[in-house]
Amino acid sequence: MKLPVPNCFFGLLFLLLAVSCSTTTESIDYILGEGQLRLEIANTVVSETTPAVTTVLTVADVRIDGVSLPGFRRQTIQWGGGAQAADVLYNGSIASGSYELVELILDPGTDDQGSGPGCYTVDANGQKHALDIRAGGLLSIPTYELVVDRNEYVSGLLSIQLAKALQPQTASGTYTLQANRWHRKWATYIPQESQLASSR
């Protein structure tokens, strides 16, 4: 003789299936979805005297976890000795996920106009000095758990203290850029639907 199956059993089974499907859908959205990333770069002005009046850096590529950001174009950044607004390196879409490393690839030879040099300093007498970039121009900056969820907008600031990062090389008259002087800051929020639609 078959015993009747309580209705609550079917209800519980339906609930478990619904939760499972919802979790799977959310996982797929997290993997396949996109968020927005705005990445800025700035010089943090401190009380110490910067050894150069002007510093010029040309960023040839920006990679996150080894993958170049889509649509990034070579950009030359010029910093004076005083405070100034941050420069926007990238403002666009990025695949949802967790990231650990930002890489800036500097080009000491060519700027964003095709002229040279690409990275240098200018002293108080107007003289240009080549900027010595180690590791083939690769600057690796740990993100410390940058997470981009689907439809989220993440704003990031990469800052450096040039007063401490520029090390003069007396013999050659050049400067060395210390790669370990970078700092990072991330802010995340969910934009309005109108903002998401305009960014697509």
- State mean pLDDT over 164-181: 76
CA 10, 11, 12, 14 torsion-angle sign: positive
CATH 1.10.10 for the 34-199 domain, yes or no: no
Lowest-confidence segment of 26-35, 107-116, 117-126 by average pLDDT = 26-35
pTM for the whole structure: 0.74
For residues 149 and 20, the model is more confident at 149
Q: Residue 18 above 80 pLDDT? A: no
Q: Please report the pLDDT score of residue 130 as a whole number.
A: 83
**Neighbour count for residue 143 (Cβ, 10 Å):** 17
In the numeric block, the tokens 């639609």 are attached to 197
Q: Residue 28 above 90 pLDDT? A: no
Q: Residue 31 above 60 pLDDT? A: no
At 29, the pLDDT band (50, 70, 90 cuts) reads very low
**Partners of 166 in the β-ladder:** 177
Instruction: Look at residue 46 and give its three-state secondary structure.
Output: coil
The DSSP code sequence of 82-133 is: S--PPEEEEEEEEESEEEEEEEEEE-SS--TTS-S-SSEEE-TTS-EEEEE-
pLDDT digits (tens, 9 = 90+) for 80-104: 866 678 999 999 999 999 999 999 9
At 46, the pLDDT band (50, 70, 90 cuts) reads low
Q: CA–CA separation, 50 vs 41, rounded Å? A: 18
Mean pLDDT taken over the chain: 77
The candidate with the shortest Cα–Cα distance to 30, out of 119, 101, 95, is 95
Largest CA distance in the chain: 102
Q: Please report the pLDDT score of residue 200 as a whole number.
A: 39
- State mean pLDDT over 130-151: 84
Q: By percentage, how much of the chain surpasses pLDDT 70?
A: 70
CB environment 155-180: b (16+ within 10 A), e (fewer): ebbbebbbbebbeeeeeeeebebbbe
At 60, the pLDDT band (50, 70, 90 cuts) reads very high
